């Protein structure tokens, strides 16, 4: 199984809502990632978890809160987002660097 799954596929939320994005992999990978991708721009790294510990936070605003409950799951909790946070949020996993990162299909987020 080389699949990374993400739910939901689409999410519309208001600026006062709290929501969560979920990502799951069953490849035994020990690194998991959140990326943000805006139209016509490359994916930008947000967070990296390595062995279930947060190893990289690319100065992401605190309204985005990652969580890694176990080695297969990665969540991104969203609270008080801004319209400019609307984007495609991609999850990925890998064994170790520089191994291939396997991506999920993404969650298309719209903040009203």
CB 52 within 8 A of CB 68: yes
- Rounded to an integer, what distance in angstroms lies between the CA atom of residue 16 and that of residue 45? 25
Which position among 56, 61, 82, 110 is part of the footprint of another protein (CB under 8 A)? 56
Site for another protein (CB under 8 A): which residue of 21, 64, 78, 94? Answer: 94
* Span 8-37, contacts to another protein by CB under 8 A: 31, 33
Which SS3 state, helix, strand or coil, does residue 85 take? helix
Asked whether the beta carbons of 26 and 1 are under 8 A apart, the reply is: yes
Which of 1, 42, 53, 69 contacts another protein by CB under 8 A? 42
Residue 9 has a CB neighbour count (10 Å cut-off) of 10
Joined together, the tokens standing for residue 16 give 């006062």
- Residue 40 interacts with another protein (CB under 8 A)? yes
Question: In this chain, which of 24, 87, 104, 109 binds another protein, going by CB under 8 A?
Answer: 104
What DSSP character marks residue 42?
-
Binding window for another protein (CB under 8 A); candidates: 18-26, 60-68, 73-81, 89-97: 89-97
Point out which residues bind another protein (CB under 8 A): 4, 31, 33, 40-45, 48, 50, 55-56, 90, 94, 96-106
């Amino acid at each position: 199984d080389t699949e990374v799954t993400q739910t939901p596929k689409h999410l519309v939320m208001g600026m006062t809502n709290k929501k969560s994005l979920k990502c799951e992999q069953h490849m035994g990978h020990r690194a998991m990632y959140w990326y943000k991708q805006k139209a016509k721009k490359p994916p930008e790294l947000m967070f990296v978890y390595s062995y279930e510990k947060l190893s990289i936070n690319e100065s992401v605003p605190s309204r985005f809160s990652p969580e890694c409950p176990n080695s297969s799951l990665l969540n991104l909790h969203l609270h008080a987002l801004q319209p400019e946070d609307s984007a495609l949020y991609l999850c990925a996993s890998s064994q170790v660097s520089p191994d291939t990162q396997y991506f999920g299909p993404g969650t298309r987020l719209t903040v009203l």
